[in-house]
C-alpha cells in the first residue's frame, strides 16, 4: 500500500498567517491527491482535488500544489474558521490511503 506522510503533525498559527502543510507519498500518485478539512464532531470536507483544483465553494485562500510524491496545501491568510485538522489522501492506486493528519491550532 502507498504510505502518505504529512508534516507537521501539529501547526500553531495565528489569524492572518500563511501556513503550509506537506504530504509525501511513498511512491508516485501522479496528481491524484486530495486535501480534506475536518472540524471536531464534523465529517471531513474536500478542499482540493487532483492536487491543485479548488473544490467548488472552497475559499480561494486555500491552494494545493505538487505532483508525483510531494504535495502541499497552503492557506494564504488563516481565518478563525480554518483552525481544524487537515488530511491528504491519494486516490491513484487502491487502497486510497490517507495521511495521518495535521492539526492547525491557535498559537
Burial status of residue 105 (CB atoms within 10 A of its CB: 0-12, 13-18, 19 or more): exposed
In the set 20, 52, 84, 98, which binds other proteins (CB under 8 A)?
Answer: 98
In the set 29, 34, 75, 78, which binds other proteins (CB under 8 A)?
Answer: 34
Q: DSSP assignment, residue 43?
A: -
Q: How far apart are CA 39 and CA 103, in angstroms?
A: 10
How many residues make contact with other proteins (CB under 8 A)? Answer: 25
| Nearer to other proteins (CB atom), residue 66 or residue 99 | 99
Cβ(19)–Cβ(13) below 8 Å: yes
The site for other proteins (CB under 8 A) is made up of 1, 32, 34, 36, 38, 43-44, 46, 48-50, 53, 55, 87, 89, 91, 93-101
Amino acid at each position: 500500500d502507498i504510505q502518505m506522510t504529512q508534516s507537521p503533525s501539529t501547526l500553531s498559527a495565528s489569524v492572518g498567517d500563511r501556513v503550509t502543510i506537506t504530504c509525501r507519498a511513498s511512491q508516485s500518485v501522479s496528481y491524484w491527491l486530495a486535501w480534506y478539512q475536518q472540524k471536531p464532531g464534523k465529517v471531513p470536507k474536500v478542499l482540493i482535488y487532483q492536487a491543485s483544483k479548488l473544490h467548488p465553494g472552497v475559499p480561494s485562500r486555500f491552494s494545493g500544489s505538487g505532483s508525483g510524491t510531494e504535495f502541499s496545501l497552503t492557506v494564504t491568510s488563516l481565518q478563525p474558521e480554518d483552525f481544524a485538522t487537515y488530511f491528504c489522501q491519494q486516490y491513484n492506486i487502491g487502497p486510497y490511503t490517507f495521511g495521518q493528519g495535521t492539526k492547525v491550532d491557535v498559537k
